Chains A and B, each alone.
Chain A
């Protein structure tokens, strides 16, 4: 069984540019989560999808971040326009049911210069 995959693994962009991160969850997992780890800090929750619906987006930093999960399969997280403080590692996770272990992807390392 394939795990959670994320693309790209690394992205370096300039301040003001746009970047789109992609996450493919484990097949059959209705729950999809986005998390972020900025340098030296803990991993922090961004949002949670159940199928194509946003269940909880309380962790989204501001309206420069837009997450979608059309069709309830893969998800994208777009940052537009990117700022320096958006640099960090963006993790995606999925789970079959709520309250059970979340399986994480390897993350996308975003560097905004």
Chain B
């Protein structure tokens, strides 16, 4: 079945440092790929997504490129801020073929990022 593997945390960086959080996946076909962010005490928010190979998702200075050849979707940001401290989840989804149009997300375990001033 589908699976997502992302780097273990926690990751602690100084403000303005470069961030990379690795994510690789195993899936059949051509899934859509996502990064979600969870701030303390809150639910998940979609950060960015890519729906096909070589697509680059970007938002709030974060970027990730869908690499089919390496089955990866690494998250990067050139200069992190304290406000970026959160847990980041890589995820993938397929459309199911049940006819109901349902789909489900498969998540990685999450990587906690702490940015210190």
Are A and B subunits of one complex? no
Contacts from A to B (Cβ < 8 Å): none
